Amino acid sequence: MRKIGSGFSVFADSCVLLGICAEESQALPSFRWSQAGAISGMTCVRIHEDADPHAWSDNFLCSNENLGLRWLQAGAISGMSCTRVHEDADPAPWGDNFLCAPANASFALSWTQAGTPREGCTRIHEDADPHAWSDNFLCVGVKFPLTGNRDDAVANGRMGTAFTLTNDGRLTAVTNTRTGVRLAGFTGAVGIVFLDGNRQPIWASNTQSYGVDGCTIGRCNRNDNWSATVPADIMQRVRGYTIIHRHNPTWLSRVGARGDQFLRWLGSEEGQATVGAIVAIAVML
């Protein structure tokens, strides 16, 4: 097992063959909402606006662990990462109310006034308040920029890739391809796959292909920068990733060079074994 940052783990492909994969990962927090007081056994923060007369005094957002959340009715808290909680249709002064998380929290919060139920979102509402609170959601997601790296043995050498994914969907990566063999090189391929909360592939980069020569013949160590754009609807669902390195001649001809081709191949009978490998080495956030 190889650690990547605090709380993240990836597993070598051999665990799939041995059948002993037992993934260790850091999950995003989940919340429960109560309109009638704090929930017993959970850590809760009161969500309220004192100037609103519609029964907000006993409403709580609760989690299974102490996340260090704080609530303020008069602006963001300095030094914390704050999300404005508001309903523009409510005449009460909700406009300066903020829910704040520690600046170093491993998750990010977001707010929508016109949402629909989806993974990672909790409806914030007060049934006694008539002012359009029924479709307001607090959502928890991956904190960007998201970074990751992986290094694997490929053919008679190694490939290593490190990437950064920013909140605007910009994926930038650098892949190192190398061999220590004097007279024989190889060509390898790399792709990055993002997963949803059910560990299912939801997006794949185009496959990049790089080759090196034997060290006495030519260049046997190279670094290549590459990039891609992840769609906004995918960004909202990202909960994990896998970096895949493979020997190009036999692999790329089957899966295709484009990300959409790769996703279709993963859905095929042949690709199901690779889905298992992706899950086994996935870094879940």
Structure tokens at 183: 């007279």
Q: Where is the domain boundary, 114, 142, 170? A: 142
**Same domain as 247, residue 157:** yes
- CA-to-CA distance for 40 and 177, rounded, in angstroms? 54
**Same domain as 115, residue 183:** no
Q: Maximum distance among all alpha carbons in the chain?
A: 80
Render the burial of 146-158: b for 16+ CB within 10 Å, e for the rest. bebbbebebbebb
Provide mean pLDDT across the span 132-159. 93
**Same domain as 205, residue 130:** no
244 within a domain of the structure (yes/no): yes
Chain-centre distance for alpha carbon 186: 32
pLDDT of residue 49 exceeding 70: yes
**Beta-ladder partners of 191:** 244
* pLDDT at position 87: 95
- In 3D space, the residue among 192, 219, 214 whose CA is nearest the CA of residue 203 turns out to be 192
Torsion 58-61-67-69 (CA) sign: negative
* pLDDT at position 1: 27
**Same domain as 46, residue 166:** no
Q: Quote the number of domains for the chain.
A: 2
21 within a domain of the structure (yes/no): no
- CA-to-CA distance for 209 and 189, rounded, in angstroms? 4
Lowest mean pLDDT among 68-77, 155-164, 266-275: 266-275
**Same domain as 136, residue 164:** no
pLDDT digits (tens, 9 = 90+) for 27-45: 688 899 999 999 999 999 9
**Same domain as 153, residue 118:** no
Lowest mean pLDDT among 68-72, 161-165, 212-216, 235-239: 235-239
**Same domain as 134, residue 151:** no
- In 3D space, the residue among 85, 84, 81 whose CA is nearest the CA of residue 124 turns out to be 85
Provide mean pLDDT across the span 17-33. 54
**Same domain as 257, residue 170:** yes
- In 3D space, the residue among 62, 92, 68 whose CA is nearest the CA of residue 82 turns out to be 68
pLDDT digits (tens, 9 = 90+) for 112-130: 998 877 778 999 999 999 9
pLDDT digits (tens, 9 = 90+) for 195-233: 888 888 899 999 899 999 999 999 999 999 999 999 998
pLDDT of residue 272 exceeding 80: no
Q: Where is the domain boundary, 142, 158, 181? A: 142
**Same domain as 138, residue 155:** no
* pLDDT at position 4: 29
- CA-to-CA distance for 17 and 71, rounded, in angstroms? 49
82 within a domain of the structure (yes/no): yes
- CA-to-CA distance for 42 and 171, rounded, in angstroms? 37
Range of the domain at 41: 31-142
Q: Domain containing 204 — which CATH number? A: 2.60.40
**Same domain as 205, residue 86:** no
* pLDDT at position 16: 30
- In 3D space, the residue among 35, 237, 34, 285 whose CA is nearest the CA of residue 139 turns out to be 237
Residue partners of 272: CB distance under 8 A and separation at least 6: 266
224 phi and psi angles, rounded to 5 deg: -130, 130
Provide mean pLDDT across the span 273-277. 66
pLDDT of residue 98 exceeding 60: yes
**Same domain as 276, residue 217:** yes
> Are 193 and 278 contacting, i.e. CB atoms less than 8 angstroms apart?
yes
58 within a domain of the structure (yes/no): yes
**Same domain as 124, residue 206:** no
53 within a domain of the structure (yes/no): yes
**Beta-ladder partners of 221:** 178
